[in-house]
Amino acid sequence: AGCSGGSDSETLVPGTNAAFAPFEFEENGDIVGFDIDLAEEAIDRAGYEAGSWSDLEFGSLIPSLNNGDIDLIAAGMTIEPDRQEQIDFTDPYWESNQSVLVQSDGDFQPEGESDLDGASVGVQGGTTGEGEAERLLEEGVIAEDDLERYPNYVLAVEDLEGGNVDAVIVDQPVAKNFSAERDVSVAFVIETGEQFGMGMRTDDDRLAEINDALAEIREDGTYDELVAEWFE
């Protein structure tokens, strides 16, 4: 896979969905965040050049990777069996659970899943958070009409602030970030123990080099510096 030239400036084009702070988000027209820095560092150390970031819908990332529009996904993407049938993942670089966000000063303050009975729940379509909401649907806790799927989590949280949904299920570090910046709070956590990986095409042999680079980034302390920069 990759280009044939053997030049040391072979480009790897990264893609994300930049509405997932602090992993990836827009700031003054730039796409920034932990994933952005981590992926660029890994691409660089693997001996490639990072192309400019494509900001895509979350659900378009895997198709865009497989059709060659992008070469690497860094989007807080959970390593999931159905995704592993379509793409390869790097070694995990993050662990997360899901959090249930509600309005900070609202009347609705659920303490556990059963308290979501009859509530409306917002998620970003195509995410593991949507998967948790669908599980609650199957278990009869929430109703299909009360499950709202948004194109991204910023829109979901705006609707929560506006009172159009009662709760939003989103990855824990992102929930924490929203609660620091908006009028929403974490009501409780759903332990999913999911792991994030970067995605690459199954036939792209640069994956091993990216994995080596990620290991080096952890070993020399760069990883911890990035965590301190974006999460503390």
Binding site residues, ligand ARG, CB under 6 A: 16-17, 19-20, 24, 58, 75-78, 124, 127-128, 171
> Which residues on adjacent β-strands are paired with residue 73?
15, 199
> From the CB of 91, what's the least distance to ligand ARG, in Å?
16
Tokens 């620091």 -> residue? 180
- The tokens describing 186, both together, are 């974490």
Q: Which residue lies nearer to ligand ARG by CB, 103 or 124?
A: 124
Q: Which residue lies nearer to ligand ARG by CB, 75 or 142?
A: 75
> From the CB of 170, what's the least distance to ligand ARG, in Å?
8
> From the CB of 106, what's the least distance to ligand ARG, in Å?
24
Q: Are 108 and 185 in contact (CB under 8 A)?
A: no
Distance CA 87, CA 81 (A): 10
> From the CB of 7, what's the least distance to ligand ARG, in Å?
31
> From the CB of 137, what's the least distance to ligand ARG, in Å?
17
Q: Which residue lies nearer to ligand ARG by CB, 41 or 171?
A: 171
Helices 153-161 and 172-181 sit at what angle, rounded to 10 degrees? 50
> From the CB of 153, what's the least distance to ligand ARG, in Å?
6
Cα dihedral 48, 51, 54, 60 sign? negative
Selection from 80, 69, 90, 50 nearest residue 193 by Cα: 80
Q: Which residue lies nearer to ligand ARG by CB, 24 or 204?
A: 24
Residues near 94 by beta carbon (within 8 Å), at least 6 away in sequence = 76, 173, 195, 196
Q: Which residue lies nearer to ligand ARG by CB, 119 or 169?
A: 169
Q: Which residue lies nearer to ligand ARG by CB, 19 or 165?
A: 19
> From the CB of 220, what's the least distance to ligand ARG, in Å?
26
Q: Which residue lies nearer to ligand ARG by CB, 34 or 58?
A: 58
Helices 222-231 and 34-45 sit at what angle, rounded to 10 degrees? 160
Residues near 123 by beta carbon (within 8 Å), at least 6 away in sequence = 129, 130, 132, 133, 147, 148, 149, 150, 156, 168, 169, 170
Q: Are 154 and 19 in contact (CB under 8 A)?
A: yes
